[in-house]
Amino acid sequence: MDRSAEFRRWKAQCLSKADLSRKGSVDEDVVELVQLLNGREQFFTTSSCAGRIILLDRGINGSEVQKQNCCWLLVTHKPCVKDDVIVALKKANGEAILKFEPLVLHVQCRQLQDAQILAVRSTHGLEVPLTHKGKLMVTEEYINFLIKIANQKMEENKKRIERFYNCLQHALEKETISMISYPKEKIKEKNNSSYTHKKKRNPEKACGKYITEENNKELENDDHDDPGISVTIFPEDY
């Protein structure tokens, strides 16, 4: 079976499944980004998170939702306030950790060259322990300080998402233009080559190769150093 057709079938199958995340829908701040990727035939997203501030309690079996042996005391995709964190900390019985997690986006790619356009990295995070065996180890003043930092990171994360969206949209548009123009240059180059059999070669007119190299240089200069993206290539044995 044609691999492009198989990838389209796999994409349709995955995107038709129910959203099993805690929220049950795509976060507002990444809706446009997810739609941009899913609107391209060579990509589709499998999971995403716009960024969040969370308070986890490790090693406890309470009534809160469990994930990877942790109890979620607090989770928000918006800036939070100290009072909410203080109230949530009262439920901690183990080691409570305040975390900020930036954008997470998992993308399936049809082939390697499609994945290369999404290769970005980020260290824009925060993780600080607040309690030990249920005992608060820091002052409320320090908690307030941490919350301000987490909220600042949340705002910066939102700006990075917008910047990443604009850079990705621009890169995809250039890729499309390159794919359209490249065959034309090949035809032009072939026609020029045929013409030189009848007339002496004029180096000044042999410009097709130069134009193609310039397009490639522009694509190589597209550096994205914003949020972290996880990409997976369409498996050969799928």
Residue-wise pLDDT for 41-61, tens only, equals: 999 999 999 999 999 998 654
Say if residue 191's pLDDT is above 90.
no
Say if residue 211's pLDDT is above 50.
no
Q: Among 135-144, 169-178, 192-201, which is the least confidently predicted range? A: 192-201
Examine residue 55 and state whether it is found in any structural domain, yes or no.
yes
In this predicted structure, what is the pLDDT of residue 185? 53
Amino acid at 127: E
Examine residue 42 and state whether it is found in any structural domain, yes or no.
yes
In this predicted structure, what is the pLDDT of residue 175? 79
In this predicted structure, what is the pLDDT of residue 234? 54
If you average pLDDT over residues 164-173, what whole number do you get? 92
Q: Which residue has the higher pLDDT, 64 or 19?
A: 19
Q: Among 35-39, 108-112, 205-209, which is the least confidently predicted range? A: 205-209
Examine residue 189 and state whether it is found in any structural domain, yes or no.
no
Say if residue 222's pLDDT is above 50.
no
Examine residue 93 and state whether it is found in any structural domain, yes or no.
yes
In this predicted structure, what is the pLDDT of residue 202? 44
In this predicted structure, what is the pLDDT of residue 129? 96
Percentage of residues of the chain with pLDDT beyond 70: 69
Tell me, yes or no, if the pTM score tops 0.75.
no
Q: Show the 3-state SS of 133-178.
A: CCEECCCHHHHHHHHHHHHHHHHHHHHHHHHHHHHHHHHHHHHHHH
If you average pLDDT over residues 15-26, what whole number do you get? 82
Average pLDDT, rounded, for the chain: 78
pLDDT in tens, 64-107: 444 556 899 999 999 999 999 999 999 999 999 999 999 999 99
Examine residue 80 and state whether it is found in any structural domain, yes or no.
yes
If you average pLDDT over residues 101-124, what whole number do you get? 85
The domain of 157 spans 3-181
Q: Provide the number of structural domains found in the chain.
A: 1
Q: Among 13-27, 162-176, 214-228, which is the least confidently predicted range? A: 214-228
Examine residue 148 and state whether it is found in any structural domain, yes or no.
yes
Examine residue 238 and state whether it is found in any structural domain, yes or no.
no
Q: What is the CATH number of the domain that holds 146?
A: 3.30.1960.10
Q: Which residue has the higher pLDDT, 93 or 214?
A: 93
Examine residue 87 and state whether it is found in any structural domain, yes or no.
yes
How many degrees, rounded to 5, is the angle at CA 109 between CA 104 and CA 209? Answer: 120
